[in-house]
Amino acid sequence: MNDIPLTHILFVSTALFFIGMYGLFTRRNMITMLMSIELMLNSVNINFVAFNKYLYPNQLNGIFFTIFIITIAAAEAVVAIAIIINLYRSHHSIDVEDAGEMKW
Amino acid sequence: MKAEAFTIDHLLFTIDHPPFTKNNHLTASQIIFYIISAFILGTGLLAVTTRKIFRSAIWLLFSLIGIAALFFWMELEFIAAVQITVYVGGIVVLIIFSIFLTQKSGNQMAKPVRSRAIFAGIAVLIGFILSYLLISQYDFQPAGNQPLDASVGNIGTQLMSTGEHGYALPFEAVSILLLAAMIGCIVIAMKADKKQETRNKAQDNTRENVQDTRDKNEENERIINA
């Protein structure tokens, strides 16, 4: 696997991060915005693992950060979906434009 | 440190002449890597652009599986297994459930506003080019062919150790975070509390009572008039 330079893996993760960002900018449905955030978190995971593998193979720090990020992403998704379902109950829509009561 | 000019030419040069084309032979490992990357990026792009929300979730699922394949390619079986279990088995299923609960999944979502899509595309493209320029200019120093010992036993021992490179404290912090998230989402998703409900019911009842009395009055008036 060392015949692939590190920059190519970083190209993939950077592209994935900005794809997620494009989704976050253009989508107005809360569930799809959550999906974009998951994509961005995953691109960060690729980064951590690749750095760990290529630059510091005698340590495991990148792997631990990946595990913690996966855990936090799961917790975040669960809370976000609870909020989305609660919002659907009160507004009958999960479009962010429809929930503007707390806008200043 | 080399101070090279950040030019588009340089970027194009690095894309046209990557280091591995010196001998013009792609090994199997390289071909697999490029296939996996193309799969991840293609399905990721479809996940954020398709207008049917259920298809979007399925494309996201494929993208996450592709990332797990990338972890397998990097010989990190444990992380790949965790990725499949937590993301594919947990988060995507949760997302699909919430789609079923809140959306008509056959419907197409509204198109994004054109100006917003264009500006988002430009911003994302510029951000990507800048970041990739930085990455391609940075002088990474790979540690050579040392193997990475990421066996489950090794990970577990270090995760639980309280010594110098131990991760016991972050582990505990994450456990508390998970507990807090669990309680939090139960509280958020619970129906409104009983006091609130009874108040709402009382309001409904008074409204009905008023309506009833009004109806009765009208009836009485009709009778009197007759």
pLDDT value at residue B206: 63
Cα-to-chain-centroid distance, residue B10: 33
Mean pLDDT of B65-93: 92
Q: Is B204 exposed, middle or buried (0-12, 13-18, 19+ CB in 10 A)?
A: exposed
What is the nearest CA distance from A61 to chain B, expressed in angstroms?
A: 9
Question: Which domains, and CATH codes, for chain A?
Answer: 6-98 (1.10.287.3510)
Within 8 A of A31 by CB-CB distance, chain B residues are: 53, 57, 95, 98-99, 102-103
Answer whether B128 sits within 8 Å of A15, measured CB to CB.
yes
Direct distance between the N- and C-terminal alpha carbons of chain A, in angstroms, rounded to an integer:
53
**Residue of B15, B18, B17, B116 lying closest to A27 (CA atoms):** B116
Answer whether B143 sits within 8 Å of A78, measured CB to CB.
no
Where exactly are the structural domains of chain B?
Answer: 1-110, 156-190, 194-226
Least CA distance to B49: which residue of chain A?
Answer: A23
Higher pLDDT: A25 or B12? It is A25
Give the three-class secondary structure for A27.
coil
What is the nearest CA distance from B222 to chain A, expressed in angstroms?
A: 41
pLDDT value at residue A45: 94
pLDDT surpassing 60 at residue B20:
no
Separation of alpha carbons B102 and A93, rounded Å: 8
What is the nearest CA distance from A7 to chain B, expressed in angstroms?
A: 6
Instruction: Find the range with the poorest average confidence among B11-20, B33-42, B45-54, B129-138.
Output: B11-20
- pTM of the shown model: 0.80
Mean per-residue pLDDT of chain B: 81
Q: Report residue A14: phi and psi, to 5°.
A: -65, -45
Tokens 């994302």 label which residue?
B124
Least CA distance to B146: which residue of chain A?
Answer: A57
The per-type count for chain A, helices as H runs and strands as E runs, is: 3, 0
pLDDT surpassing 60 at residue B122:
yes
The beta-carbon neighbor of A36 closest among B48, B110, B123 is B48
Contacts of A62 (CB under 8 A, 6+ apart): A48, A49, A51, A52, A53, A56
Separation of alpha carbons A25 and A19, rounded Å: 10
Tokens of B19: 């280091």
Answer whether A45 sits within 8 Å of B19, measured CB to CB.
no
Tell me which amino acid residue B130 is: L
C-alpha distances (whole Å) from A20 to each of B10, B12, B138, B163 are: 26, 24, 24, 38
pLDDT value at residue B172: 93
pLDDT value at residue B226: 62
Mean pLDDT of B82-100: 92
Least CA distance to B62: which residue of chain A?
Answer: A39
Alpha helices in chain B (DSSP H): 8-16, 28-49, 53-73, 77-83, 92-102, 114-137, 152-160, 168-189, 194-225
Answer whether A38 sits within 8 Å of B73, measured CB to CB.
no
Tokens of B194: 């009983």
| Cβ proximity of B29 and A3 under 8 Å | yes
Average pLDDT per 10 consecutive residues for chain A, totaling 104 residues: 82 95 91 93 94 89 93 93 89 83 77
What is the nearest CA distance from A103 to chain B, expressed in angstroms?
A: 20
pLDDT value at residue B124: 95
Mean pLDDT of B60-81: 93
The beta-carbon neighbor of A16 closest among B41, B155, B184 is B41
Answer whether A14 sits within 8 Å of B131, measured CB to CB.
yes
Mean pLDDT of B5-31: 59
- Confidence band for B185, pLDDT divided at 50, 70 and 90: confident
pLDDT value at residue B212: 67
Answer whether B48 sits within 8 Å of A2, measured CB to CB.
no
Least CA distance to B18: which residue of chain A?
Answer: A5
Contacts of B84 (CB under 8 A, 6+ apart): B65, B68
Give the three-class secondary structure for B49.
helix
The beta-carbon neighbor of A49 closest among B74, B109, B119 is B74
Least CA distance to B112: which residue of chain A?
Answer: A26
Q: B1-110 maps to which CATH number?
A: 1.20.120.1200
